[in-house]
Structure 1
Amino acid sequence: MKIYITSVFVDDQDKALAFYTDVLGFTKKHAIPLGEAQWLTVVSPEDPEGTELLLEPDGHPAVGPYKKALVADGIPAASFQVPDVQAEYERLRGLGVTFTQEPLAAGPVTTAVFDDTCGNLIQIVTPA
């Protein structure tokens, strides 16, 4: 068994697609219309056949309070591995990304957390 798709709830799929591709560097995999929304996934260009990230609309009534609680408590909705957290932090800050946690060494990893502009905190991590 392996992870096929995981998701983050987003407040605007078009805005999320732009952020996750143009800023973070993911590649669009699927954009299948489903009424007013889409089955919209992105993948890492390093692993185009790997795990997909579904940019899922956050319209369900339970999602808003869930997302707000996570953000209020500083809990990331997802975690992405990068080769060098400090370098990625600098790159993303240069693109105007807002961080809620600067790079921090925590035992076997270094992490940083940013706002994805779609209602989520996202963690980047580099194993030691």
Structure 2
Amino acid sequence: MHELSVCLSLLDEVERIAREHGAEGVERILLRIGPLSGVEAPLLANAYPLAAAGTLAESAVLEIESAPVRVACTVCGAESEAEPNRLLCAACGSHRTRLVSGDEMLLANLELRVPDGAC
């Protein structure tokens, strides 16, 4: 399962950030995943409890937001949302577009449990 290895890598980064800030634990993880990222959000959510066991994020809530697919048109210069399987400019209909977003998996936010006096 590809999502398990993605989840393990994500948790490595989450733990690194948590330790860097002296956190006792992680309360919430917010991910933004685009439909062209190659990551299936439901499978990632299912893999999370297994991957998080024994980590600072074991009891954290994992929230996943869908990131929109956005393209920039090389013909008219407009930037617009597009369908994952139809990367057309919404302004002029051109197929000459460049992907701006929708292929990312972004760690958007972490809520940490930090003891009093820690930074």
Question: What band does the TM-score fall into relative to the shorter chain?
Answer: under 0.3
Higher RCO, 1 or 2 (CA under 8 Å, sep at least 6)?
2
Larger Rg computed on CA atoms:
2
Q: Between Structure 1 and Structure 2, which shows a larger proportion of strand residues?
A: 1
TM-score by length of structure 1 reads 0.23
